[in-house]
Structure 1
Amino acid sequence: MAFTQATAPTGLRTSEILSADNSIPERHIVVATLRNAAPRLGLSASVISTLDAMLSCLAPKRNHHTVFASNATLTFRRNGISDRTIRRHAATLQDIGLLVRRDSPNRKRFTKHNRHEGKALRFGFDLSPLFDRLHEIASMAAEVMKEREQIDYLRAKIRAAANASLTDNPNDEIALDIFRVLRRKLSLKDCEQILSNLPISVVDAESVDDESPVSTTTMTASDGQFVRHHHKSNKEHIDKESIT
């Protein structure tokens, strides 16, 4: 099973999410992709960490994706979380479609080979669905990253507009309320709604080609005097916004 670069919007990614160099993507790439796609998959950080522990039990070179590690081993690799939590996380992964539980009659996890027929029975956590869906998950991750970039841009635009209003009127209640709203985690729809209701003008930043050379100001000297840049003495309104 070979992997190639997943499709993503132009300009969103500068490196491959899934490498085509190896038939099985490296564990850290798989986990990073899952973390980015987590909002679309409904995965918590704790469940992803358990899945990471499962992935750590797989051999780098293998012809299957079944985890044979016991719950005790997985508990140890998850820094001592309970056996019950491991079972709950495994059930979540199965419900989402990233794992299939193949239980033996005695609940042990092992492989039983039939060398004459070249077949094997594998009992354990089968992660084949995860690897089968990696391209789909990578596309989800790219969409999430694009949305985050849009939200960051709109938040900066809203903040700049509110700050411009406070420069003219330090007691502008609407602008002050906007800064309070920006302390919260906002969705793309929230940001677009705020912008659509702003009663103040918002000037878009000019389009800049990142590849173009940056213009510089020439410094001249005459009789020991330098031409200096003059900055406005009025400082931009700084809101103590918590990082979201």
Structure 2
Amino acid sequence: METGYITTPFGRRSMTLALVKRQVETKQDLADRSVDKWRVFRDVGDARSRLGLQDRALAVLNALLSFYPATELGSDKNLIVFPSNAQLSARANGIAGTTLRKCLGVLVEAGIIIRKDSPNGKRYARKGDEGAIEDAYGFSLAPLLARAAEFAALAQDVAAEQRRFRAMKDRLTVVRRDVRKLITVGMEEGLPGDWVAAEDYFVELVGRFSRRPTLQDLAASLDEMTLLHDEVSNMLEVQEEVGKNDGNGIANGCHIQNSNTDSCNEFEPRFEKKQGERSEPTKRTGRKGEPEVFPLSMVLRACPEMTAYGPGGSIGSWREMMAAAVTIRQMLGVSPSAYEEACEILGQTGAAIAIGCILERTSHINSAGGYLRDLTAKARRGEFSLGPMLFAQLRANSLPRRASA
């Protein structure tokens, strides 16, 4: 076989260890076999993204194969073709000479063909007395035969990835549509919750979609859009449940009459009222004056560090979350008066959410107490809503996951 001898390129083209290794591996992998040259060509074309080949390189490979007289590439046959550049260019749709040489180099580097240069760099064949080719100089197609199974496996892998890509893209389209319509329902029906913040997050997320996404891009976008879908769905489903939990938290608690920082019921705000006067329920301010309602699961995803401060290192209810907020309040040095004021303006769950978000951003906040007082003052003036803060924290927590996808 012509692959039994390691050849080096003519002229200034350098020889590399990788080229030596490919020639040795080709020789070792050649067995008593044959394969349809056009079938291998189709597999190489399907796997071109994995092999680093562009369309023009495939056109040159197609031209090279057209100079091989038989349909089957066999180990018992001469696998070297020796067309001139002019002949190759003519069969490769008139490709320019510079581009032709570049494509040939790409095919060699990819291990698709092997150069076998003559002493003077020309491509030709020597024939014996009976007209059979005894020796030839040009390009060996032996790698196509030796790597036929590898190319077929790569082509199948690429096809499977394309199927996953299409399925994931369809899924993202459906989830995106569902989120858009669910947010519209919440806004048009005037349901409790910061739907404007949810819509802003949705628009920002869609704006980050790549025009030519990879499978990893789609997976990251689908992950974030699914998270938003879950939270928006919960905002629609748990309105009554959250309202009951908040009402029970107020009804079962007691008022704070002192500033004892060790009190386990500190999350209950203090209301000053005259004798015989009815207590007004805590009012939470949100956009358009509605109370801000968020699913507990959404809050814990946005503020995962709170979980460690819950009873037994976990949080399973709003009351446990508010208890955890008291512990965090003490740790951050927030005064009882600042926290009570936040409870009166934001509501007890709202104040706990604010504490959780502050905990997540402690490295960026100089004074937690001052920051909470500033948020409370803005909420009193109608300039602050928990929704944007919560969705911003959700988005910030999703960044590491996207980077690792």
Which structure's residues are more often helix, by fraction?
Answer: 2
Does the 8 Å CA contact 2:113/2:140 hold for their aligned counterparts?
A: yes
CA offsets per residue over residues 3-34 of structure 1, 9 Å max, x none?
A: xxxxxxxxxxxxxxxxxxx933142x222211
Q: Which amino acid aligns with 1:193?
A: A
Does the 8 Å CA contact 2:40/2:151 hold for their aligned counterparts?
A: no
Q: TM-score when scaled to structure 1?
A: 0.65
In the alignment, which residue of structure 1 is the partner of 2:45?
Answer: 35
In the alignment, which residue of structure 2 is the partner of 1:101?
Answer: 115
CA offsets per residue over residues 63-86 of structure 1, 9 Å max, x none?
A: 222111111011111122122221
What CA distance in whole angstroms lies between the structure 2 residues aligned with 1:96 and 1:132? 14
Match of 1:190 among 217, 225, 228: 217
CA offsets per residue over residues 68-116 of structure 1, 9 Å max, x none?
A: 1111011111122122221111111111111111111233322224569
CA offsets per residue over residues 50-72 of structure 1, 9 Å max, x none?
A: 11111111112572221111110
Unaligned runs of 5+ in 2: 1-32, 185-195, 232-405
Higher RCO structure, 1 or 2 (CA under 8 Å, sep 6+): 1
In the alignment, which residue of structure 1 is the partner of 2:60?
Answer: 50
Identical positions, percent: 26
Match of 1:65 among 68, 76, 79: 79
Q: Does 1:141 align with 2:190?
A: no
Cα gap change, 1:102 to 1:46, in 2 (>3 Å): same
Give the secondary structure class of the aligned counterpart of 1:24. strand
Q: Does 1:156 align with 2:183?
A: no
Does the 8 Å CA contact 2:40/2:144 hold for their aligned counterparts?
A: no
In the alignment, which residue of structure 1 is the partner of 2:34?
Answer: 23
Cα gap change, 1:36 to 1:119, in 2 (>3 Å): closer
In the alignment, which residue of structure 2 is the partner of 1:124?
Answer: 138
Unaligned runs of 5+ in 1: 1-21, 203-244
Cα gap change, 1:119 to 1:58, in 2 (>3 Å): closer
Q: Does 1:88 align with 2:102?
A: yes
RMSD: 2.6
CA offsets per residue over residues 142-170 of structure 1, 9 Å max, x none?
A: 11111111111111111101101112234
Match of 1:200 among 229, 236, 244: 229
Cα gap change, 1:180 to 1:141, in 2 (>3 Å): farther
User: For this pair of structures, how many residues does the alignment match?
Assistant: 179
Does the 8 Å CA contact 1:161/1:201 hold for their aligned counterparts?
A: no
Does the 8 Å CA contact 1:98/1:130 hold for their aligned counterparts?
A: yes
CA offsets per residue over residues 190-237 of structure 1, 9 Å max, x none?
A: 2221222221149xxxxxxxxxxxxxxxxxxxxxxxxxxxxxxxxxxx
